[in-house]
A and B are shown apart, each in its own frame.
Chain A
Amino acid sequence: MNYGLWMSAAGLSTEMHRQDVISNNLANAQTPGFKADYTFTRERPVAREELGMDTPSQILLERLGGGVLAEPTWTNFQQGGLTRGGDLDVAISGAGFFVVRDGDGDGFTRDGGFTRGGNGELVDSEGRPVLSTRNRPIRLPETGLIAIGGDGTVTVDGEESGRIRIAAPDPSLLRKSGGNIFRYAGTGKVADASADVQLKQGWIEDSGVDPIKSMTDLVASSRAVQASARFIDLHDRMMELAINRLGTVG
Chain B
Amino acid sequence: MDISDLLNIADQERQSQTAFRIRCCVAAGCVATNSLAVKENLQMAITAAEMADTVQVCGVGCMRLCSRAPLVAVDQVTPAKPSLLYETVTLDQVPTVVATLPSAPASRSGAVPLQQGDLTHPFFTHQRSIVLENTGLIDPERIEAYIAMGGYRSLYHVLREMTPTEVVDTMTRSGLRGRGGAGYPTGLKWAMVAKAIADRKFVVCNADEGDPGAFMDRSVLEGDPHRVLEGMAIAAYAVGATQGYIYIRAEYPLAIQRLHIAIRQAQRMGLLGSHIFDSPFDFRIDLRTGAGAYVCGEETALMASIEGKRGIPSPRPPYPAERGLWGFPTLINNVETFANVCPIIRNGAEWFASIGTEKSKGTKVFAIAGAIRNTGLIEVPMGTPLREIVEDMGGGVSDGGTAKAVQTGGPAGGCIPASAFDTPVDYESLTQLGSIMGSGGMIVMDQQTNMVDIARYFMEFCRDESCGKCIPCRAGTVQMHQLLSKICEGKAAPADLHLLEELCDMVKHTSLCGLGQSAPSPVLSTLRHFQDDYLALIHPE
User: Are A and B physically bound partners?
Assistant: no
What is A's interface to B at a CB cutoff of 8 Å?
Answer: none
